[in-house]
Amino acid sequence: MTEKISGEQYFTAQPDAAHDYQNFDFELLGNNLHFTTDAGVFSKRTVDFGTRTMLSVAAETDFPAGRVLDLGTGYGPVGIAIAKALNKNVDMVDVNQRALDLAQKNANKNGVGSQVKVFQSNIYEDVQDQYALILVNPPIRAGKQVVTAMLQEAKNHLLPGGKLLAVLQKKQGAPSARKNLEAVFNDVSIAGKNKGYYVLEAVNG
């Protein structure tokens, strides 16, 4: 996850990169979805492979009834795909306001605007609820402290039996991320892997 934007990163709250709107269609979980992206957001030209890997695992994962949290939603592919394919209510959060504006527009465009709540939060700072499932493709370039917080603090926002799914490349720290999860969760496993990407699962037991 290394997309840089004119000297700043996509995890900036207010990107100042010049707008560069792009539109593309992409099939996720059996639905052809329509996305508008912009400069200053992660993976603006396509849905990245890590996200696709995590979504394929999520679609086969059993989790309790309840809302889903898409943490670090970007322009919204994860939350929109889950809302559409699994008929779930999803909270979609990000620190990047430009990304959030796109996420809301994309949710509306794909017919799930009424199923999602899009709001700004620096990691879990403004997240109040507890969730059946939390999905995260962490911004590795934000640094270890941010990534670890996104993983470990999920425990405070999961329902009993709720699950965290997180995708990371093995070479970018999946093994150490697993150890960080094991420090706070009793039940941690590798739920899937594909081409060097690991999907870690942690259960709030």
Strand partners, 201: 165, 189
Nearest-angstrom CA–CA distance, 91 and 93: 6
pLDDT band at 2 (very low <50, low <70, confident <90, very high): very low
Task: Give pLDDT, residue 14.
Answer: 54
Q: What is the DSSP string of 121-190?
A: -STTTT--S-EEEEEE---GGG-HHHHHHHHHGGGGGEEEEEEEEEEEEGGGTHHHHHHHHHTT-SEEEE
Instruction: Report how many helices (DSSP H) and strands (DSSP E) the chain contains, helices first.
Output: 5, 11
Structure tokens at 58: 């999520």
Tens digits of residue pLDDT in 47-104: 889 999 999 999 999 999 999 999 999 999 999 999 999 999 999 999 989 889 999 9
CB 118 within 8 A of CB 103: yes
Phi/psi of residue 3, each to 5°?
-70, 115
How much helix, strand and coil, in percent to the nearest 5, is found in the chain? 30, 30, 40
Least confident of 2-16, 95-109, 157-171: 2-16
CA distance 175 to 169: 9
Which residues, other chains included, contact 91 with Cβ-Cβ below 8 Å and sequence gap of 6+? 67, 68, 69, 70, 79, 116, 117, 118, 119, 127, 129, 131
Neighbours of 92 (CB within 10 A): 29
The per-residue pLDDT for range 142-165, each reduced to its tens digit, is: 788 999 999 999 999 999 999 999
